Chains A and B, each alone.
Chain A
Amino acid sequence: MKVLVPVKRVIDFNVAVRVKADRSGVDLANVKMAINPFDEIAVEEAVRLKEQGAATEIVAVSIGPSGAQETLRTALAMGADRGILVKHDGPLEPLAVAKILRAIALEEQPRLVILGKQAIDNDCNQVGQMLAALLGWPQGTFAAKVELLDGETAVTREVDGGLQTVALKLPAIVTTDLRLNQPRYASLPNIMKARKKPIAEKTVADYGVDPRPKLKVLEVREPEKRRAGARVASAAELVERLRERGVI
């Protein structure tokens, strides 16, 4: 069984984000980049399926600038078998990403596509669901547990009130939530080995997808800053202040 894992290159989650002075976007120059944390969980889940003997091959895909090659190498070092780099500079909306992934899925014929539930840059939370719709496949989003059964996958999902389990016919789409697993650190020998694993280079045009955004970003600004208030000396004083304020 083949598993496809799309991975995105984003600003490292530990880096403080700076908005550009001209309000055209977020400053990406000389900023540390990393694999999207939810996608890292997706790679880990695929690798575990392979270790259990349920998956036979893991194909990682990244769509982005040439630097996205590093993101693919991260996935390969964790255990993916080969990579596909779809080179593209500039913004790409989730729908265009989903269309490219659809074309790749039709070519590669995976039984399972595992993706992060959202990228921590645009926080859209769309690609997995859109890909499922375009392929006509079922989806198990916000997964906390994935089990492969006969011709089906049982996905336990994090929902508003707790957990929900659904059974999906394969092929299916799974998007990962935080508690699905704890991704491993790639070992040095595996990092070395990953350098020799193949990465096929493609372009967006190879898949016949129009990359032009349909939404227009008018401006990006910093959120309004909250200012620190007063310190109180005791819990009793705190209660007194909150009563004065009329919130309790």
Chain B
Amino acid sequence: MAALVLAEHNNAALNEATAKAVTAATLISPPVHVLVAGADCAKAAEQAAKLTGVETVLVADDARYASLLPEPTAELILSLSQSYDAIVAPATANGKNILPRVAAKLDVPQISEIIAVQSPDVFRRPIYAGNAIETIEAKGFKKVVTVRVSAFAATPAGGNASIKAIAPAADPQVSRFVSENLTRSERPELTGAKIVISGGRGLQSKENFALIERIADRLGAAVGASRAAVDAGFVPNDRQVGQTGKVVAPELYIAVGISGAIQHLAGMKDSKVIVAINKDEGAAIFSVADYGLVADLFEALPEFEKALGQ
């Protein structure tokens, strides 16, 4: 049988997290079908149909799925679940919110945030904030899996899947969307960016984050932050990199004024190249950095920006 991947999208476009979850799903139980649930989501569905290896895209286009509330969305997935051996979602806020509901209704365990598929029944996932990695076997029941997207490459475009409209499932009508307040940014998204530059408590204020943002714009990088910087109100919560925030693994991660608490390291230590700029020579961040610069960030950042321009 096949795997069903719950697509992450904003109706107008497919999020790259979907292509990464498709990569994992292909290793678990091919062929892969993608479920695009949304409102006016035809564009996202077309993009999903182009992913290599996707056989069918199921589209549930209905107002009740506009904000992917977990109660109706879980019902929709359950209505389709019989035809699948595996139900997979990227471990985004939506995936984490919806999939455990599906697993509970199917009376099966969920395997959260896998970082590797060792065999179709054996998975690796981090526990204790990434301080240990467990290998688990799931045999004899339907697999419900969320995928840590930073650990998988995106499935490339190049396919031509059929697109099939499906009817909406029952809406339990116990919840409704009220409002959302999304951070608007021209910069790349944190979890998909090739370069991430993050600031910590060392930045000292919201205004000083401009030093980081200028470099981000020059490099085409996303801006991240430590929990300390978020808690201090320097940047919005969706910028937090760490165990309890976003987990990133870009080509280049630049940590500025970040001490390197375990919590933060768990969210970025799989980056290819890590740079640390910190005035405290003993900061833990240096123990994982490929390049360390011991300096006052208020001097180092303008110099860094200047050198980039040369």
Interface residues of A, Cβ cutoff 8 Å to B:
11, 16-17, 19, 26, 93-95, 98, 120-134, 136-139, 141-142, 144, 154, 157-169, 172, 177-179, 213-223, 226, 228-236, 238-242, 245, 247-248
- Specify the main secondary structure of chain A where it touches its partner: mixed
Alpha-carbon distance between A234 and B180 when the two chains are bound, in angstroms: 43
Contact with A along B278-294 (1 / 0, CB 8 A): 00000000111111111
Are B127 and A130 closer than 8 Å at their CB atoms?
no
- Does any Cβ of A come within 8 Å of B200's Cβ? no
Using known A-B contacts A160-B238, A161-B238, determine if residue A133 contacts B104 with beta carbons closer than 8 Å: yes
Q: How far is the CB of B76 from chain A (nearest CB, A)?
A: 14
Are A142 and B93 closer than 8 Å at their CB atoms?
yes
**Contact partners of B181 in chain A: CB under 8 A:** 162-164
**Contact partners of A16 in chain B: CB under 8 A:** 131, 262
Alpha-carbon distance between A154 and B269 when the two chains are bound, in angstroms: 36
Using known A-B contacts A166-B175, A218-B135, determine if residue A125 contacts B295 with beta carbons closer than 8 Å: no
Alpha-carbon distance between A152 and B141 when the two chains are bound, in angstroms: 37
Alpha-carbon distance between A12 and B248 when the two chains are bound, in angstroms: 25
Alpha-carbon distance between A113 and B136 when the two chains are bound, in angstroms: 30
Alpha-carbon distance between A136 and B133 when the two chains are bound, in angstroms: 33
**Contact partners of A165 in chain B: CB under 8 A:** 177-180
Alpha-carbon distance between A22 and B70 when the two chains are bound, in angstroms: 40
Are B132 and A11 closer than 8 Å at their CB atoms?
no
Alpha-carbon distance between A185 and B99 when the two chains are bound, in angstroms: 35
Within 8 A of A (CB), among B54-76: 67, 69-71, 74
Are B180 and A247 closer than 8 Å at their CB atoms?
no
Are A167 and B182 closer than 8 Å at their CB atoms?
no
Q: Which of B70, B127, B176, B219 has the most C-beta atoms of chain A within 10 angstroms of its own C-beta?
A: B127
The answer, among B105, B127, B289, B307, for a CB contact under 8 Å with A123, is B127
**Contact partners of A241 in chain B: CB under 8 A:** 291
Are B273 and A245 closer than 8 Å at their CB atoms?
yes
Are A228 and B287 closer than 8 Å at their CB atoms?
yes
**Contact partners of A223 in chain B: CB under 8 A:** 126, 130-133, 269
